[in-house]
Amino acid sequence: MNRSERLRCWLREAIAYEPADLALFETALTHRSADGPNNERLEFLGDAVLGMITAQYLFERFTDADEGALSRLRARVVNGESLAQLAAGLELGELLSLGQGELKTGGYRRESILADALEALCGALYLDAGLAAARVAVLRLLAPALDSLTLPAELKDPKTRLQELLQARGLPLPRYSVDSVAGELHAQVFRVTCEVDPMAVRATAAGSSRRRAEQAAAACILEQLQGEP
């Protein structure tokens, strides 16, 4: 079985994908050290495709996570080490086309080469089938990393952390009330009070939206409760 046939079989078995233009995928798995077209341009495109698909997945899965938490979660998936581990687990290195120098030094196992090849593969998927089909295939590629992904407590927003803290103590959920809304429509300031009735704890905070004000008030309550002896 030649390389093209092995690559087609790999795409079918690894991500249940049937390529329309196999040459795209051959290029995606060709390192610059080899002769002919290489994967550097596809790597550039695939980096953007991979980042966007991962961002959408995280946005839909972790509905309570704020922007900072989502960014940190994405960084845990879309980084050189993680991508290289995924590529190695999929035995992608066996399909790489490398120059003699890289072959002699074990380039098919090198993290940077494996990660770049996986990104280039995502670029090829996008060009070959469009965004919708690429999303399905890319999520299959990322499944090992995404399935084990959890939202650590330090990445959760203040409202979620406060709710979990109160539930752990057997207490009812906090109450949020809007005290006032001031300013022009495009620059409103919301003042919100958060109260934990059984503990007689309350805090008021302001924000450019009701949600942000609630988060700020919840953060104040957390500071009070976590500072208790």
Residues recognised as catalytic: 47, 119
Provide the CB-side half-sphere exposure for 60 (13 A, CA): 7
What angle (nearest 5°) sits at the alpha carbon of residue 103, between those of residues 100 and 109? 155
Q: Residue 91 in contact with residue 13, Cβ under 8 Å?
A: no
CA distance 140 to 14: 8
Q: Residue 44 in contact with residue 30, Cβ under 8 Å?
A: no
β-bridge partners, 189:
182
CB atoms < 10 A from the CB of 175, how many? 11
Which sign, positive or negative, has the C-alpha torsion 148, 48, 127, 110?
negative
CA distance 14 to 53: 18
β-bridge partners, 97:
30
- Rg of the chain (C-alpha set): 24
> How many residues make up the chain in this entry?
229
